[in-house]
Amino acid sequence: AQSVAQPEDQVNVAEGNPLTVKCTYSVSGNPYLFWYVQYPNRGLQFLLKYITGDNLVKGSYGFEAEFNKSQTSFHLKKPSALVSDSALYFCAVRVSTDSWGKLQFGAGTQVVVTP
């Protein structure tokens, strides 16, 4: 069975400092990995994905993520956080053997960026 874990319920960071949101996964095949952001009372917005190729993936709003197969991780990063980055972040995984199937989401990490 596929699963994804986000070990931190909340991440606090000062504006201008680097932001990292952790994600680890467990799948039996090759993973397709995704990051989404959710602002209050809104749906989920897609940030970036890893399908194949370069391990460093760049996405929207200055975010990037690094796929690490040996550590089964896909951490989200931003070099300099903004107050407007405060939101709920979800990591998700889908396995290549069931590529049309559901995305399995992590529990989410609340990011709080203070001025």
Partner 1 sequence: GAGVSQSPSNKVTEKGKDVELRCDPISGHTALYWYRQSLGQGLEFLIYFQGNSAPDKSGLPSDRFSAERTGGSVSTLTIQRTQQEDSAVYLCASSSTSVGELFFGEGSRLTVL
65 is written with which tokens? 């993520």
Is residue 94 a contact residue for partner 1 (CB under 8 A)? yes
34 touches partner 1 by CB under 8 A = yes
Please tell me the total number of residues recorded for the chain in this structure: 115
Q: Residues 17, 96, 97, 114: which binds partner 1 (CB under 8 A)?
A: 96
Q: Residue written as tokens 């949101």?
A: 21
Question: What is the DSSP-derived secondary structure letter of residue 103?
Answer: P
Q: Does 25 bind partner 1 (CB under 8 A)?
A: no
3-state DSSP call for residue 28? coil
Closer residue to partner 1, CB minimum distance, 78 or 106: 106
Nearest-approach distance from CB 19 to partner 1, in angstroms = 20
Alpha-carbon span 107 to 6, nearest angstrom: 6
Residue numbers at the binding site for partner 1 (CB under 8 A): 32, 34, 36, 42-46, 49, 51, 90, 94, 96, 99-108
